[in-house]
Amino acid sequence: MDLGLQGRVAMITGGSHGLGKQSAAALGREGCKVAICARGAEQLEEARAELAGAGIEVIAVQADVTSQDDRVRFHDEARSAFGEVDILVNNAGGRRGEIDFLATGMERFREGLEFNLFSAVELVNLVLPHMREQKWGRIISISSIYGREYGGSVDYMTGKAGLIAFSKHLALNLAPENVLVNCIAPGSIDFPGSTWDRFQQNNTPEVVSEFISRNLPAGKFGWPEPIGETVAFLASERADLITGTCLNVDGGQSRSLF
């Protein structure tokens, strides 16, 4: 199926591994020019080389999305390499605090919101003027099922819920301008270096098996490819009536009806 993305320019945060790299690969296969960023230089270069080896036009920018200077530089380098940005994938995020609020403390709570919410908001602020001007844009943010129901650390859950709310508000205001804004809510996705990879390494097989039995109806952890393919679909012309939604990709893990 032709998704109508040939020649579009996409920025993907946290693109050196896991969901971000898979999103870049899926968009690149559809003909997008992709700019990825991450903090770690070595893994970032490995991802760039892998994507380029697959015939994808790609640049990699070492950047920390919690830094305003780095966010601006990532955007500027993407524009310099490929032109104005048509697609933004806010993938970077993660836990900074604890389940308990007081144990987390205000400093780490703020860090969690900066990582999971405000970094995405700031990047939207950078790409949105061009999207509105050309009457075409796609903003896709990777939230979590724990932004829709209870789970994870207090900062992570709050930040991911805020990302869904921000995206809904943005989507309804931008729909007349053909700038579509959606979220994806993954469940427990396993890949090297992920939270769930570490969980399996740091616990006994019995503990892991009990977690899977209790939480994962499919009987196994998820994997990055379905997330990447969902990103490509939501970015495409085939999804031109989908905006303001948060789509679970979780193998039935979440319990909420909404």
What are the residue ranges of helices labelled H in 175-237? 195-202, 205-215, 225-235
pLDDT of residue 90: 98
Beta strand extents in the chain (DSSP E only)? 9-13, 33-38, 58-62, 87-90, 137-142, 179-186, 246-249
Residue 89: closest CA among 48, 139, 135: 139
DSSP 219: S
Nearest to 168 by CA among 186, 132, 205, 143: 143
49: which 2 tokens? 């080389």
CA-CA-CA-CA dihedral for 211, 208, 196, 24, to nearest 10: -90
| Interatomic CA distance for residues 187 and 252, integer angstroms | 8
- Residue of 85, 67, 94 lying closest to 198 (CA atoms): 94
Per annotation, catalytic residue among 74, 82, 156, 191: 156
pLDDT at 81: 98
The single-letter DSSP state of residue 189 is B
CA–CA separation, 36 and 168 (whole Å):
25
Q: Per-residue pLDDT tens, the chain, 258 aa: give them.
A: 789 999 999 999 999 999 999 999 999 999 999 999 999 999 999 999 999 999 999 999 999 999 999 999 999 999 999 999 999 999 999 999 999 999 999 999 999 999 999 999 999 999 999 999 999 999 999 999 999 999 999 999 999 999 999 999 999 999 999 999 999 999 999 999 899 999 999 999 999 999 999 999 999 999 999 999 999 999 999 999 999 999 999 999 999 887
Q: What is the reported pLDDT for 257?
A: 86
Position 22 scores a pLDDT of: 98
Does the pTM surpass 0.85? The reply is yes
Catalytic residue flag (residue 156): yes
**Which of 173-204 are b and which e, b meaning 16 or more Cβ less than 10 Å from the residue's Cβ?**
ebeeeebbbbbbbbbbbbbeebebeeebeeee
What's the CA gap between 132 and 139, in Å, rounded?
Answer: 12
User: For residues 227 and 224, what is the distance between their CA atoms, to the nearest angstrom?
Assistant: 5
R_g (Cα) of the chain, nearest Å: 18
